[in-house]
Amino acid sequence: MFRPVVKLLFLTKAAFEVGRERVEDALDAVTAKASECKTQGSDKFNESRDKVKEVAGEVYQQVWQRSEVLEGQVREKLKRQVSDFSLGALGDASEINELRAELATLRAEIAELKSMRAAV
């Protein structure tokens, strides 16, 4: 009678140990799979981050180059407008010379008036 009870105790203990080992193995497998997924996730994250940095660098370069081109175009446009305005506003060289002569005459007259006032 003790023998079947003892056998039942050993079977129960063995079943408990086997069950515990299976659960531990399953947990180890899950932990290993989680670590693998984490590593792969980290690798994919790093790859994605590097790709984003690369694309951002390319976009930055394109934006910088485009801004340089636009700046050059605006400078040229402004130069043309200034030269067109200068030529249109002042006229040709003869008008410029006439204005210079008039300024010189006015300066001379002002200097003469100042000298007359100082003499009085």
Query: Cα separation of 43 and 24, whole Å?
Result: 28
Q: Between 28 and 39, name the one with better pLDDT.
A: 28
Phi/psi at 92 (5° precision): -85, 180
Q: What is the pLDDT of residues 2-34, one digit of tens each?
A: 677 777 778 888 888 888 888 898 888 888 888
DSSP per-residue codes, 23-63: HHHHHHHHHHHHHHHHHHHHHHHHHHHHHHHHHHHHHHHHH
